[in-house]
Structure 1
Amino acid sequence: MITGEGYKDKTPRSRIAAAWGYTRRTGISNSVRAHWASRRGKKVLVGIFVVLLCASLFVVNIIRFSIGLIRGQSLNRILIRSLAIEEENTPVVLLAENESKAAPELAGIDWAAKNIEDKWEQPVVRRLHLNPSDLKDEDLVMPIMYAMGVELQGDHDLDMALCQFDISPYHRNPEQFPMSRDLVGAFCSKNRLKHKLASVHAVDERAGKQLQPTGFIFHESRVGSTLVANMLASVPTNLVYSEPSVPAHVIHLCKNAGCSEETTVRLLRMAILAMGRSHHHDHFFIKFSSSTVVDMDLILKAFPETPWAYIYRDPVEIIVSNFQRGRGGPCIRAKKNAPKAVQDILETDRRGASRVSDEEYCAAHLTMLCQAALEQMELPGSKGHAVAYETLVEDVLRVLVPGHFGVSMNSEETARMTAQSELYSKARTGETVFQGDTEQKQERATQAMQVAAEKYLKEPTERLRLASTLGRSQLEIDATLRAQEARVYERTGSRFFQLPHCPDEPESPPGVPIMDILGNWNMDDTAIPPRHYNTLCRFDYQTEYDKALRYRDAEMPFVVYNIPEFDETVEKWNSEGYLAEALEGGEYTTQVSKDNHFMYYRLSKSLKPAGYIPPTRTERWSYDHWLHEARKSKNLSTDSEHYYFRVSDRDSPIVRQDLTIFTSRESTLFMKEPEMSRGIHCRFGMRSVIAEAHFDASRNMVSLVSGTRRWILAHPRECKHAYLLPTGHPSARHTEVDWSAPDLQKYPDFVNLVANEVLLTPGEVLNVPAWWIHTIENLDINIQCNSRSGDSTVGLKDLKRCGFFSHDK
């Protein structure tokens, strides 16, 4: 730059001469001097600069465009704007690719409601029931409206910044986007879209189904919380926010605005619910930043029913981790303006807190977090659970997710979470195998760190360990039950409405009103619903044999699985051609009904009412004949003829030869009194066949070899509501009520019956105690084999009160 006293006062010629003198001193060539000396040269240089700048910006945008395509970024941002139709005061929404396109439509308030559907651009394609295997499909797209930030409007409303992008890359590689800000930085433009929360709620059906928070994660910092978030995010049905800015912003804005606690809690609830909206996810988790722990009471008041976890670690290791990249870290960021809680811990004022050593201040800060978590965890009815870093992965898989958060995981989801746990949680540039560093941190700890940890954190850490130990046993029980649910879900696609109650000392399973069971799933419907009322316990034969034995001796119904010798039979009988060859050439008992309902009857001279028409007829069929007819059942109506095929150990040697669980001469779990056995009977069911509700006088073990059956059982005391046909009737012991279409005017007391429901799948054995009323629905082609072993007096008194006085079969 040419400067000098009196330069501006010189004539143009003098200025040129001054410029020449400057260039001589700086060594610039004559040609350049000439350009500098002319105004035209200056304009040319400016023009060249502008052209180069534009070209650079063009190249940068081309690169960003290419990266966006590679990462699956949604290039068209969806702008959400809300309007109010004055006539109806109804919020309506316009989605456009950009603001300029939307502006003409937004200009008039008299926008007609009938045009809404024409203007709407559906932001996402609904895709349900995603599995981890879907992530292998690189073309899988999961668009989502993602919350980026909020602004407070007065003290009663919020504006939220939203961005739409494809979240599937996050589910594929959570470690590359360990924080919410990484997703925002990778996929969202600088033009954040603001949208009032009230309007967001008005369009939740189109922007996505509303998810309630499944679980919250709080932590001390540097304790593996990001790893937990990544493990959860590796399952595509989990919507996970990892340290999002929205909740912290709401709290901060409300503090600055002087909001009441009630208002803050309400706005937090609005904001978090707005975050939990998705077409693709079933569960919603938030891992909060460590700084949010001091305000966690507000979050928990907003969502008092949401279970939460607090992750902690050996305090020395946390302090070392905070200092490993130099002097600092999250624990000393507020040292110059220490919170009142930290001052109280240090027993000093704000000025004194700023003068203590960094190690001591860090320990006091961590103590503040622990105390805040413990205060909430020790409240009556708290939903909190402490998780130790030392057993983090095991606890997440076995206790936290299935037991505490109540999420059933199938084997593929568990495997994916396990694989994710082996990666470094913040590998933004690519996969890095995680290396444990507990020993290294202990070795790097200075004496100052150890003294500070001992002084301030010993007591709260011990309280956290105690809370973790006390809560773990019940959570392990819940996790076991969730594992059972996951097993059923993996086989049937149906979850439980509630977990069964399975105490060590047998108790009768809690019943469910029969109309709730049938209202959720009609008996004539073979399509398995998303949820069913499973209330029976399932026991692993390998690990819970003694418990199953106690339940059997107490005459309680239950299911047992993982039976090696029976699993071999299941595999053999389901192998192609085995049964066809084994049963070839024989003809076997086949019951034929005019519709899908089958009711046992017994006729004799003394049991033949006038005008009585037997409900079924008996024929002799080959196995191939029955199988041919059964395969047509997919296209049969319930009013068409149905067939029930039977083979016993008297009909074919393979029954006794293969079903060895029923052939022991000594008492076993499956045969309490083997000497009272009446043989082994296998019933081959076709789709839609229903065995009408009835009771039997002997205990019965029912094994399922193939297919799926639905059982509904009721305690003998329910006979007073079941309208059982009396002794003397050909179908005595059976109910008069058609459970697929109960006539409540004719049988009004039927609504008071309570029952238990269970789905039986291959390899499982159901214990049906004597006298229990039960009905069976065949959901597909299946094989069930059972054997009886003695009777019982438990429940007999209840049936006597209903008019049954003998062991009538």
Structure 2
Amino acid sequence: MERLNLDGWLPIRIWQQAGEWRVDWCWFGDTPLHQPFFREAVDAALRLPFNQAFRRQTPLAVLSEWRAISPGLEPSAFIFHASRCGSTLISQMLAQLDNHIVISEPPPLDTLLRSDLPAAERRSAIAGLLSAYGQRRRGVEQRLVIKLDAWNIAELPLLRECFPATPWMFVYRDPLEIAVSHSRRPGMHMVPGMIGASGLDDGLPFDGREAYIARRLGRLLEMAVAHCRDYEGLAVNYRELPGAMAGRLAEFFALDAVQREQVFAAVGRHAKQPTEVFVGDSQSKRREASPQLRECVERWARGPYEALGGGFSVESDDAIASRLTPTIDLQ
């Protein structure tokens, strides 16, 4: 173990092979992770000639061993979300800060959270994985923020076992707008069977795409209501963004006065497609919703949305844009 050296390497995949759990590593050196999603940073790194010539795979236990040799930052915040609701904007704003490491929806974490590993081994592996992500690769990092996949709200109690003191938030949006977004372009958790067994499963038969989306969304919001109550989570409505990053979210993330200004450097572009300018779509989504989708959302998702504190007045996209300088993407 004394010769183990993974400086500059990050775990990019965890899988089971012939009964043994393995870790695939990729060399990032001191390159910061500024992409909207971790998988995009991985794709960029894998194009480097070094990573095309050299690959590194280890047993899962190496995560704990590397943590013992070179402990990384402990997570300072977790971002959970309902999907298509502003969480990417928050993570991109934080990624503007040199002393922040922001890891957005890393597949290896989802793999471990939903694995069948023994409880103690799984907790150790999760702690080791986040320690690897929290390595001070540039020497200036002070905080580690993890944004999880939307369906990982079901695994929040497990993550709390590993990091009971880490604050967490849940970002959400009017469920009709989320449902329309998934009707246009469904996320992985809104396609039957795509993510495998999940806490979003309700055991009911598939009875149409719109009902399926609304049921999944409703279950996700229900779990968020329960977890915010039981584990003291901070519920953040889409309509609070981005202004809350200069107010209560700045306090949540412990941003100083200079950082509160720096984070707004991300404002003005599409959060998931930074080369594009944001065009508001809340009103168009509500107009696009079919009567059946509206009925399904009201039945399955409206109640938990209101329980989260979702009673915000509906504003037009122009009204939202008028209080944002410049306009931004709130996805």
* TM class, shorter-length: 0.7 to 0.9
Which residue, 82, 106, 112 being the options, matches 1:244? Answer: 106
Residue of structure 1 equivalent to 2:4: 93
Q: Does 1:322 align with 2:182?
A: yes
* Partners of 2:30 and 2:181 in 1: CA distance: 31
TM-superposed CA distance for 1:291, in Å, is 2.3
User: Does the 8 A contact of 2:172 with 2:235 survive in 1?
Assistant: yes
Please list, as runs of the form range in 1=range in 2, the aligned pairs for 1:260-339 lying within 5 A after superposition.
260-278=118-136, 279-325=139-185, 328-334=186-192
5+ residue gaps, structure 2, are 313-331
Specify which structure has the bigger relative contact order, considering alpha-carbon pairs within 8 angstroms and separated by 6 or more residues.
Answer: 2
CA distances 1:658-711 after superposition (whole Å, capped 9, x unpaired): xxxxxxxxxxxxxxxxxxxxxxxxxxxxxxxxxxxxxxxxxxxxxxxxxxxxxx
Residue of structure 2 equivalent to 1:183: 41
Return the letter of the residue paired with 1:92.
R
CA distances 1:519-546 after superposition (whole Å, capped 9, x unpaired): xxxxxxxxxxxxxxxxxxxxxxxxxxxx
Which residue, 81, 90, 95 being the options, matches 1:233? Answer: 95
5+ residue gaps, structure 1, are 1-81, 83-90, 96-122, 124-143, 469-809
User: Does the 8 A contact of 2:250 with 2:260 survive in 1?
Assistant: no
* Partners of 2:129 and 2:311 in 1: CA distance: 31
Please list, as runs of the form range in 1=range in 2, the aligned pairs for 1:139-538 lying within 5 A after superposition.
144-151=8-15, 159-166=22-29, 168=31, 170=33, 174=34, 177-188=35-46, 189-190=51-52, 191-195=54-58, 196-204=62-70, 210-252=72-114, 254-255=115-116, 259-278=117-136, 279-325=139-185, 328-334=186-192, 342-343=201-202, 348=204, 353-354=205-206, 356-379=207-230, 382-402=231-251, 404-405=252-253, 407-411=254-258, 413-427=259-273, 431-465=275-309
* Partners of 1:201 and 1:366 in 2: CA distance: 36
Secondary structure at the aligned position of 1:310 is classed as strand
TM-superposed CA distance for 1:146, in Å, is 2.4
* Partners of 2:148 and 2:222 in 1: CA distance: 17
User: Does the 8 A contact of 2:79 with 2:146 survive in 1?
Assistant: yes
User: Does the 8 A contact of 2:75 with 2:144 survive in 1?
Assistant: yes
* Partners of 2:69 and 2:131 in 1: CA distance: 13
User: Does the 8 A contact of 2:151 with 2:189 survive in 1?
Assistant: no
* Partners of 1:186 and 1:452 in 2: CA distance: 40
TM-superposed CA distance for 1:152, in Å, is 5.6
Residues 271 and 169 of structure 1, relative CA distance in 2, 3 Å threshold? closer
User: Does the 8 A contact of 1:239 with 1:276 survive in 2?
Assistant: yes
Residues 243 and 458 of structure 1, relative CA distance in 2, 3 Å threshold? same
Return the letter of the residue paired with 1:316.
L
Secondary structure at the aligned position of 1:284 is classed as strand
TM-superposed CA distance for 1:222, in Å, is 0.9
Residues 154 and 384 of structure 1, relative CA distance in 2, 3 Å threshold? farther
User: Does the 8 A contact of 1:248 with 1:292 survive in 2?
Assistant: yes
Secondary structure at the aligned position of 1:163 is classed as strand
Please list, as runs of the form range in 1=range in 2, the aligned pairs for 1:572-651 lying within 5 A after superposition.
none
* Partners of 1:221 and 1:462 in 2: CA distance: 17
Secondary structure at the aligned position of 1:185 is classed as helix
* Partners of 1:308 and 1:152 in 2: CA distance: 30
User: Does the 8 A contact of 1:163 with 1:193 survive in 2?
Assistant: yes
Residues 340 and 275 of structure 1, relative CA distance in 2, 3 Å threshold? closer
* Partners of 1:167 and 1:431 in 2: CA distance: 24
CA distances 1:722-770 after superposition (whole Å, capped 9, x unpaired): xxxxxxxxxxxxxxxxxxxxxxxxxxxxxxxxxxxxxxxxxxxxxxxxx
Return the letter of the residue paired with 1:275.
Y
Residues 154 and 373 of structure 1, relative CA distance in 2, 3 Å threshold? farther
CA distances 1:178-224 after superposition (whole Å, capped 9, x unpaired): 110111110133543234124312431xxxx6211010001111112
Residue of structure 2 equivalent to 1:788: none
* Partners of 1:449 and 1:335 in 2: CA distance: 21
Secondary structure at the aligned position of 2:78 is classed as strand
Secondary structure at the aligned position of 1:210 is classed as coil
* Partners of 1:200 and 1:180 in 2: CA distance: 21
Total equivalences in the alignment? 301
TM-superposed CA distance for 1:367, in Å, is 1.4
Return the letter of the residue paired with 1:358.
R
Residues 267 and 332 of structure 1, relative CA distance in 2, 3 Å threshold? same
Residues 180 and 94 of structure 1, relative CA distance in 2, 3 Å threshold? closer
TM-superposed CA distance for 1:290, in Å, is 1.1
* Partners of 1:316 and 1:224 in 2: CA distance: 15
TM-superposed CA distance for 1:440, in Å, is 1.3
TM-superposed CA distance for 1:432, in Å, is 2.1
TM-superposed CA distance for 1:304, in Å, is 0.8
* Partners of 1:338 and 1:451 in 2: CA distance: 27
Residues 154 and 239 of structure 1, relative CA distance in 2, 3 Å threshold? farther
* Partners of 1:466 and 1:221 in 2: CA distance: 15
Residues 444 and 194 of structure 1, relative CA distance in 2, 3 Å threshold? same
Which structure's CA Rg is the greater one?
1
TM-superposed CA distance for 1:370, in Å, is 1.4
Larger % of strand: which?
1
Q: TM-score, normalised by structure 1?
A: 0.35
TM-superposed CA distance for 1:409, in Å, is 2.2
User: Does the 8 A contact of 2:80 with 2:150 survive in 1?
Assistant: yes
Secondary structure at the aligned position of 1:235 is classed as coil
User: Does the 8 A contact of 1:221 with 1:330 survive in 2?
Assistant: no
Secondary structure at the aligned position of 1:369 is classed as helix
* Partners of 2:92 and 2:193 in 1: CA distance: 31
TM-superposed CA distance for 1:159, in Å, is 4.4
Residues 222 and 341 of structure 1, relative CA distance in 2, 3 Å threshold? closer
Secondary structure at the aligned position of 2:80 is classed as strand
TM-superposed CA distance for 1:467, in Å, is 11
Secondary structure at the aligned position of 1:93 is classed as coil
CA RMSD of superposed structures (Å) = 2.8
